[in-house]
Structure formats: C-alpha cells, structure tokens
Structure 1
Amino acid sequence: MKTVAFPIEKKNIKDILFDLAALAFITLTPALSHISTVPVYLLEPMRIVLLLSLVHTSKRNTYLLTIALPLFSFLISSHPSFFKATLISSELALNIFLFFYLSKILNNYFGAALVSIIASKIFYYVVKFGMLQTGLLGGELTASPIWLQVILSLVFAGYVGWFFKKKIQL
C-alpha cells in the first residue's frame, strides 16, 4: 500500500490553520449570538477575521478569505443571501485592495486602514441601497448603529496601524 502525502510548505501552515479557525468562527457566529443574546454580527465578525488575516497571514490568503468567508457562510447556513454574500465579498475585497494601495501612498497604516474601511462601507451602503430599490435584497439599509460602526472602524484601524508600526520597528 502506498502512502500519499501532500507536502505543505512551512510558511503555508500558519495560513491554513488561520483559515480553519476563521471558518469555524464564522460558522459558530450565529450560535454565539443565540447563546450570548448579544447580536455578534453587529461586531462585524467577517471584517474582524479579515483584518486579523491582513496582519497575521499573507496578502494572498487575505484576498482568498474575502471570497471564502461569505461564500462559506452562505453555503453552510444560507445566510447571508447569495446577493448579500456577493456584496460582502466585494466590500471586503475593496477594503483590502484600498488598504494596500493607500498604505503605499499615505505611508500611514492607521490612516490607510481607516480610509479603506470607510470607503468600503460607503461602497457597501450605496450598492446595498440600489439592491434594496431593485428588490434583490430585503430589509433595512443599516443593521447596526452608525455610532457602533464608527467605534469599530477606529478600533480596527488602530489595531492594524499599531501592528504594522510595530512590525516595521522590529
């Protein structure tokens, strides 16, 4: 009997483990919301995972997760809907693209992270408004309060800025 081995490069092991943890977290998010009675989705779990990937894994892996997380969530639980999952993937991909682009121009990781988050949120709400108007999506334009989104954006940008500043100093 022959043994089949799939060689995994050492540098990819961290990405694979991160991705498995990310998929588990996204899968468990609805259950965590029900157990804790706190709507965990208001804390933007996909953006949290994505920004953690941004600072702790590779650029390629982060882009992969922008597609995989919403798609996986849709396939596992049919939530969000296909159109909303596509919108979320687009928003997250734009967020990451703008971060890398702006970090080169601004030379300020906090500023690049904050502007990329805000710009991707504006994109999200403009497109979501159009989808609501055409009937592709139902529900409200905003699910979470604006004040919470502002606080989370500042916290997320602060973490990314702090991490990359620390990484450069090392």
Structure 2
Amino acid sequence: MVKFDFTKRDIAMMAAFLALMMVAEAIWILGSVFAPFGIGIYYGAVLIIAAIVIGKRYTILTLGIAKTIIMLLIPDTYGGSLAAICYLIGAIVLESALYLSEPYAENLKTDLLGILGYGIIYWGVYAAILTMVYGMALPQWAIIIGFVVYPGSFLLGGFLGYKLGNKVKNVIESV
C-alpha cells in the first residue's frame, strides 16, 4: 500500500508547484514553433525543482495526478481532455526513476534519465491521442521532430531544475 506522508508544509509547496505547472500552459502564446522548446524547459525545471525541494517519494506522482484532473476539466486546445493522460503517464515514468535514487531526487543522472523519459512519454502519448483518438493528421516529420524537441527540451529543463532546485532547497531550509 502506498503511504503519502506529506506534511501541511509539503502540501502547501505542492500547491505552489502545481500553480507553476499551470503557468506552463501560457507558453503556448509563443506559437506552435517556439512553445515546445519553452514548455519542455520550463516544465522539466519545475518538476525537478519540486522533487528536490519537497524531497519525498510520490511528490511527482501527486503533482501528476492533480495536473491530470485539472486538465481533464479544462481541455487542451488541440488534444482535448484525453490529452491530459500524458501528464499522468509521464509522472509515473519520472516518479519511477526518482524512486530508484537514494535519497529521493538527489542524483543528477537519475533525475535526467527520469525527465528524459517524461519528455518521450509526454510527446508519444500526446501524439498518439491526437492521431488515433481524435483523427488529427500529423505529418511524420512533425512527429519525428517532436520526439527530438520535447525530450531534448525537457532534458535541458531538468538539468536547469537540478541546479536551481538545490539552491532553492537551501534557501527554503534556511528560512
């Protein structure tokens, strides 16, 4: 059985990180050419920072569940409400990778491997839902470019998140 041992402080910080995750949706204002880079970098950084700062198992899974529920209620412009599943499946992949590191989210290689998996799954599930469920015609070159851009930008964001996360954690612990 999964035990969630979050304190009130952890839950408040998760709410703040969830709000930061929702801000990522505004990046689409940049347009469909630049937004995939921005969303991957921003979202990857926020997820890794959240994992490092909160530092407890199931942090990413809890955030993924909350983000999925919100996005089911507020559908994506292109992917509809079913596209929200990509957040949950990606969170499961990232949480699985972070679960292997001791202490939680403190290993750069494990964090980067997890966020790379998140980026691959995020785009793969999203593209599959767009094409198979909603029947949207995506050219093969766009799908292939997505499998390069999303994992790459999530990886860069994860690296930045790792560097910033340790600094943010030190600041929060000193307060």
Instruction: Give the TM-score, by structure 1 length.
Output: 0.63
- For residue 54 of structure 1, report the CA deviation from its aligned partner: 0.5
Match of 2:112 in 1: 114
1:63-115: CA deviations, max 9, x gaps? Answer: 2111101321332x3226322111221012211212322x35xxx81211222
Q: How do 1:15-164 and structure 2 match up within 5 A?
A: 15-31=10-26, 34=29, 39=35, 42-44=38-40, 45-57=42-54, 58-75=56-73, 77-79=74-76, 81-101=80-100, 103=101, 109-136=107-134, 138=136, 140=138, 141=143, 146-147=148-149, 149-157=151-159, 159-160=161-162
1:70 and 1:86 in contact (8 A); partners too: yes
- For CA contacts below 8 A with separation 6 or more, give which structure has more relative contact order: 2
Identity of aligned residues (%): 15
CA-atom RMSD, angstroms? 3.9
Q: Partners in 1 of 2:130 and 2:121 — Cα distance?
A: 14
Q: Partners in 2 of 1:50 and 1:17 — Cα distance?
A: 15
Q: Partners in 1 of 2:70 and 2:164 — Cα distance?
A: 30
* Largest Rg, 1 or 2: 1
Q: Which runs of 5+ in 2 are unaligned?
A: 1-5, 170-175
Alignment length (residue pairs): 152
Instruction: Give the TM-score, by structure 2 length.
Output: 0.61
Cα pair distance change 1:67/1:46, threshold 3 Å: farther
Q: Which runs of 5+ in 1 are unaligned?
A: 1-10
Cα pair distance change 1:21/1:31, threshold 3 Å: same
